[in-house]
């Protein structure tokens, strides 16, 4: 399956002779504030409005000298920005993104694109029909480390990819859940909130995932969602992938600790992804490229060289790319359809963990299929069984 990018044209929503592009942020929580900081680093882009009814957001908006609105329609009517960034809880993404594109305004929607596949499909189809782009905030694709890893994998430096493993382990404090109680509910566990990043990168680096098996365990803190899960994948190129995730494990093996992407997290010199090929192997984000000194042979010495990459804030790069998409000079690196494909894998993990079945994803007829499923079972999140991509 190819990575489909939405074809766009300049939308005529602004006078392109103007030097500054105007963006609005919906939801000024943890991620929304990071977007605001990223916009501040782009001299030709400005934050023109915030949508968030909370007193904290209103105070932050006042400190930034930016207008703050209680709802999205009011903001669109008053400000009509050139683009809208949606960083609210996932359950609000679809409705808010639809309001944006129906107004002809491109949207950058935080990951995951929505909280169910049917709604995501409707949003993507509307975006494509209206020719108003939707980007999904899988910002790690903009990290120079990932761009370098992608070039290594596609250049045949490690040969044919045969296996990939990803680890996503960390311990979230109780305050993380107490300040935003929606994080305690079904669908807001680390599979959907955190692992979605890793699944997107596994797809980006190694190709499409076709079969999924998974296991998950209930939160030890008593929340509705899981706090540890593991999945086994088959890729369409025959490679096998494994991944484990937990937000209740004390460990250094997570992107946050290893990539130095966000200074708030302490850094450790470890890796989180291992990609194995027929000629060599690559670990990420440390970018160690492993080869045998002679022909591949488990009795011959093996050594690594560390590949260097640039350092830049991927959120800033994502904002600049979003600006290019708005101007019509580029197409989304992570389109709505790309976000939909990643969401289909996440939902398949949830189904596989609940049913014990192997889930097959097919893109030809647009339906998630359960391979060799037998017996009756109940999906606690009904939308997971609706048509995918």
Query: Higher-confidence residue: 383 or 246?
Result: 246
The answer to whether 336 and 347 are in contact (CB under 8 A) is: no
Kindly indicate the confidence band of residue 183, based on its pLDDT and cuts at 50, 70 and 90.
confident
Distance (Å, whole) CA 46 – CA 40: 7
User: What's the 3-state SS for the chain?
Assistant: CCCCCCCCCCCCCCCCCCCCEEEEEECCCHHHHHHHHHHHCCCCEEEEEEECCCHHHHHHHHHHCCEEECCHHHHHHHHCCCEEEECCCHHHHHHHHHHHHHCCCCEEECCCCCCCHHHHHHHHHHHHHHCCCEEECCHHHHCHHHHHHHHHHHCCCCCCEEEEEEEEECECCHHHHHCCHHHHCCCCCHHHHCHHHHHHHHHHHHCCEEEEEEEEEECCCCCCCEEEEEEEEEECCCCEEEEEEECECCCCCCHHHHCCCCCCCCCCCCCCEEEEECCCEEEECCCEEEEECCCCCCCCCEEEEECCCCCCCHHHHHHHHHHHHHHCCCCCCCEHHHHHHHHHHHHHHHHHHHHCCEEEECCCCCCEEEECCCCCCCCCCHHHHCCCC
The conformational region for residue 156 under phi > 0 = left, psi -120 to 50 = alpha, else beta, is: left
Residue-wise pLDDT for 52-109, tens only, equals 999 999 999 999 999 999 999 999 999 999 999 999 999 999 999 999 999 999 999 9
pLDDT for residue 376 is more than 80: no
pLDDT for residue 3 is more than 70: no
Pairing of strands 273-277, 161-169: antiparallel
Residues 6+ apart with CB under 8 A from 345: 199, 203, 209, 212, 233, 361
Nearest to 205 by CA among 264, 147, 120: 147
pTM of the model: 0.86
Residues 6+ apart with CB under 8 A from 5: 331, 332, 333, 335
Residue-wise pLDDT for 109-129, tens only, equals 999 999 888 899 999 999 999
Kindly indicate the confidence band of residue 192, based on its pLDDT and cuts at 50, 70 and 90.
confident
* Domain annotation for the chain: domains and CATH numbers: 21-140+315-334 (3.40.50.720), 144-311 (3.30.360.10)
The answer to whether 191 and 198 are in contact (CB under 8 A) is: no
């Amino acid at each position: 399956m190819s990575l489909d990018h939405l074809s766009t044209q300049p939308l005529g929503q602004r006078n392109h002779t103007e030097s500054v592009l105007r963006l609005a942020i919906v939801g000024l929580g943890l991620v929304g504030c990071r977007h605001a900081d990223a916009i501040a680093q782009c001299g030709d882009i400005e934050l023109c409005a915030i949508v968030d009814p909370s007193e904290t957001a209103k105070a932050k908006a006042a400190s930034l000298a930016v207008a703050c609105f209680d709802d999205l329609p009011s903001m669109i009517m008053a400000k009509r920005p050139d683009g809208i960034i949606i960083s609210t809880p996932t359950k609000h993404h679809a409705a808010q993104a639809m309001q944006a594109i129906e107004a002809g305004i491109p949207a950058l929607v935080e990951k995951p694109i929505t909280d169910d596949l049917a709604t995501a499909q409707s949003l993507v189809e509307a975006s494509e029909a209206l020719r108003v782009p939707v980007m999904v905030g899988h910002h790690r694709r903009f990290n120079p480390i990932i761009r370098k890893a992608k070039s290594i994998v596609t250049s045949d430096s490690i040969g044919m990819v045969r296996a990939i493993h990803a680890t996503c382990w960390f311990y979230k404090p109780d305050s993380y859940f107490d300040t935003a109680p929606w994080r305690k509910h079904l669908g807001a566990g680390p599979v959907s909130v955190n692992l979605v990043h890793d699944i997107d990168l596994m797809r980006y680096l190694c190709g499409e995932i076709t079969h999924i098996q998974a296991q998950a365990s209930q939160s030890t803190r008593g929340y509705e969602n899981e706090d540890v899960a593991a999945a086994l994948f088959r890729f369409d190129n025959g490679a096998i992938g494994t991944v484990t995730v937990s937000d209740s494990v004390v460990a250094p093996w997570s992107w946050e600790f290893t990539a130095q992407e966000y200074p708030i997290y302490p850094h450790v010199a470890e890796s989180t992804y291992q990609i194995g090929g027929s000629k060599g192997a690559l670990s990420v984000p440390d970018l160690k490229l492993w080869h045998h000194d002679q022909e591949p042979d488990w009795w011959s010495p093996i050594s690594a060289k560390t590949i260097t990459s640039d350092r830049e804030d991927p959120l800033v790069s994502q904002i600049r790319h979003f600006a290019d998409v708005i101007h019509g000079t580029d197409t989304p690196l992570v389109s709505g359809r790309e976000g939909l494909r990643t969401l289909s894998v996440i939902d398949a993990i949830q189904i596989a963990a609940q049913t014990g079945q192997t889930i097959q994803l097919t893109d030809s007829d647009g339906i998630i299929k359960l391979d060799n499923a037998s017996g009756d079972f109940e999906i606690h999140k009904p939308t997971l069984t609706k048509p995918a991509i």
